Amino acid sequence: MTIIEDDTTAYLSARLRRERESRGWSLGQFAEKSGVSKAMISKIERGEASPTATVLGRLSGALSVTVSALLSRTDAVHHGVRRYAQQPAWSDPETGYDRRQVLSGQKIPLELVEVTLPAGQKVTMPAAAYSFIQQAIWVLEGSLLFHQGDRVHHLDTGDCLELGPPQDCMFENKTAENCRYLVAVVRSA
Amino acid sequence: MTIIEDDTTAYLSARLRRERESRGWSLGQFAEKSGVSKAMISKIERGEASPTATVLGRLSGALSVTVSALLSRTDAVHHGVRRYAQQPAWSDPETGYDRRQVLSGQKIPLELVEVTLPAGQKVTMPAAAYSFIQQAIWVLEGSLLFHQGDRVHHLDTGDCLELGPPQDCMFENKTAENCRYLVAVVRSA
DNA sequence: GGATTACGTCCATTATAGTAGACAGTCAAT
DNA sequence: ATTGACTGTCTACTATAATGGACGTAATCC
């Protein structure tokens, strides 16, 4: 029997227990819903095992939250408010690419992510990265070229794009200004 | 040798490779920075292994992103464009209140509504209006007071609010400037 | 040409994740 | 009191994560 000391797993164990108990589920019920053994769930909650991404996917699926939300440490969100300063953000200093997690829904299966794509930059996304996802893109500022296969959509400020089946694709900003857009993701129950 | 089919791990493999390559790191360099073997990183990127939360913590640490951000699905793509000029909009000339239906999802159960609430104005919404609805509010510009029951949330630009159970509520702009916000609605299946 | 270095993947081994079933305890119904 | 259902944890086992070193390939240098 080993107690795992690392930060991520320690945080996860407390979080997982809290999520389960807040729903009033026993280990057995959670096991049924998630397809992960109750013994394993118990181990994770006691910090005795570190779950694989596969198991994380199953657990978060049963909880109807994203894996990202499950591991997010900004979720002590008391009344549902996510302050700008508390929203997780990531930037690539080299390119100026910026991504901000405005909302990772706890009560509702929704994520809102604000992205800044700098002038002249592009981002590619293989289909595998977003299978089983439902999402839309809304351009807040600037212009965006969306390439999907041999198809290109030109989106200007205010335009919105509802996405269909997953395909390899690329976002591109060919202009001299930054492009800022919102990605709204609905998680399937 | 097994190729893992689950969604979370598939997404992670593509994402991890992209993050590494965007930094121009070899597997060896990433291994040094993260303390995870290059063989394991290679396996994860090829979808041949599902990393534990412990390993995820190390990898994200080396990338200087949170685990949550690493697993966040913020990217996407494709057709179903709603042009700004084609989006249904309604305004009240008297008050300057403006409402635009950015997206009314056909493929996905999502609505995006952009609202401009003029200085000094308020809008009420009875609980009945959004029962069985899941929604969030994101302030794009200005400040918003959101009254829900006897609770008041003060939201500034960039702040986001995930709504809980339906209650009578009211949007209020007490400032001298317009407030612009997005209402994202996930429709129940 | 050969030697060196770096790359990603393969391989055998160790460590541990993950399971099904057993266990001890609790609680409600009879 | 007994019984049955449920709870979380323990146990022995299987499956696979994770490693260090080897390998084949490519690029560079002498």
pLDDT tens sequence across A128-187 = 455 446 778 899 999 999 887 677 889 899 888 887 666 667 888 988 889 999 988 887
Nucleic strand C near CB of residue A37 (< 7 Å): yes
Rounded-to-integer distance, Cα B20 and Cα A145, Å: 24
Rounded-to-integer distance, Cα B188 and Cα B30, Å: 42
Question: What are the residues facing B117 on neighbouring strands?
Answer: B179
Residue A29 touches chain B, beta carbons under 8 Å: no
Residue in chain B closest to A115 (alpha carbons) equals B74
Residue A57 and residue A16 in one domain: yes
The closest of A179, A98, A137, A116 to B78, measured between CA atoms, is A137
Rounded-to-integer distance, Cα A6 and Cα A8, Å: 6
Residue A58 and residue A103 in one domain: no
Determine, yes or no, domain membership for B78. no
pLDDT at B77 over 80: no
Distances (CA, A) of B59 to B38, B63, B144: 11, 6, 39
Q: Which of residues 28-87 of B touch strand C (CB under 7 A)?
A: 28-29, 38-39, 42, 45-46, 50, 52, 54
CB < 8 Å from A in window 98-117 of B: 102-103, 105-110, 112
Nucleic strand D near CB of residue A135 (< 7 Å): no
Determine, yes or no, domain membership for A180. yes
Query: Taking CB atoms and an 8 Å limit, are A157 and B84 in contact across chains?
Result: yes
Nucleic strand D near CB of residue A1 (< 7 Å): yes
Determine, yes or no, domain membership for B92. yes
Rounded-to-integer distance, Cα B39 and Cα B91, Å: 60
Domain count, chain A: 2
Considering only CB atoms, which chain A residues are within 8 Å of B66? 71-73, 88, 90
Distances (CA, A) of B98 to B89, B117, B118, B148: 7, 7, 8, 22
**B130 and B166 in contact (C-beta within 8 Å)?**
yes
Neighbours of B17 (CB within 10 A): 17
A150-162 pLDDT, tens digit each: 778 898 998 888 8
A24-66 pLDDT, tens digit each: 889 999 999 899 999 999 999 998 999 999 999 999 888 887 7
Size of chain B in residues: 189
Residue B65 and residue B113 in one domain: no
Determine, yes or no, domain membership for A34. yes
* SS3 of B77-100: CCCCEECHHHCCEEEECCCCEEEE
pLDDT at B33 over 80: yes
pLDDT, mean of residues B43-64: 90
Residue A163 and residue A89 in one domain: yes
Rounded-to-integer distance, Cα B146 and Cα B163, Å: 10
Give percent above pLDDT 70 in chain B: 83
Considering only CB atoms, which chain A residues are within 8 Å of B140? 140
Give me the CATH number covering residue B131: 2.60.120.10
Strands A110-117 and A179-186, bridge-based pairing = antiparallel
Q: Is B74 helix (H, G, I), strand (E, B) or coil?
A: coil
Residue A133 touches chain B, beta carbons under 8 Å: yes
Residue A52 and residue A124 in one domain: no
Give percent above pLDDT 90 in chain B: 20
Query: Which helix (H) or strand (E) is A27 found in, with range?
Result: helix A27-34
Determine, yes or no, domain membership for A2. no
Residue in chain A closest to B44 (alpha carbons) equals A53
**B58 and B36 in contact (C-beta within 8 Å)?**
yes
How many beta-carbon pairs below 8 A join chains A and B?
Answer: 285
**What are the helix (H) ranges across B1-153?**
7-22, 27-34, 38-45, 53-63, 67-70
Give me the CATH number covering residue B44: 1.10.260.40
Residue nearest to nucleotide C15 (CA to C1'): A2
Distances (CA, A) of A60 to A72, B41, B94, B112: 12, 23, 47, 25
Determine, yes or no, domain membership for A76. no
pLDDT at B76 over 50: no
Q: Which domain holds residue B180?
A: 84-187
Query: Taking CB atoms and an 8 Å limit, are A83 and B161 in contact across chains?
Result: no
